[in-house]
Amino acid sequence: MSARTAPLPPAAVEAMARLELRLDAPEVLPAVARYQVGSFRTAQLSDWLYRYGLTDADFESLEFWQDTMREAHATLAAAGRLDLIGGA
């Protein structure tokens, strides 16, 4: 006699997926966060460049965040999880 269980509710399925992601590839979630922050800061600095121009420090910050995004993208590509940032 086999025990039958009810299907998990959608919220539980999502929680399990997040937990599996943390256990399987611990570098993925920090890479997503770095990519998102980098994307926000790059957009912000690009807007400032267009409107006001950038100081040398602002320009270095823009380069830093673009590099951060590239590194995060590479991490996510290696893990096969570009879907988390809207990539293929």
- The pLDDT tens digits for 59-85 are 999 999 999 999 999 999 998 889 889
Domain boundaries defined on the chain:
28-79
Predicted pLDDT of residue 45: 93
Virtual CA dihedral for 13, 16, 22, 25, nearest 10 degrees?
-70
Predicted pLDDT of residue 71: 97
CA distance 83 to 60: 29
Predicted pLDDT of residue 6: 78
- pLDDT bin (cut points 50, 70, 90) of residue 49 is confident
Whether the Cβ atoms of residue 32 and residue 75 lie closer than 8 Å to each other: no
Residue 57 belongs to what H/E stretch?
helix 56-79
- Rounded to the nearest integer, the mean pLDDT of the chain is 87
What pTM was computed for the model? 0.71
Predicted pLDDT of residue 65: 96
Whether residue 54 has pLDDT greater than 60: yes
Question: Among all chains, which residue has been given the structure tokens 């040398």?
Answer: 56
CA distance 76 to 39: 15
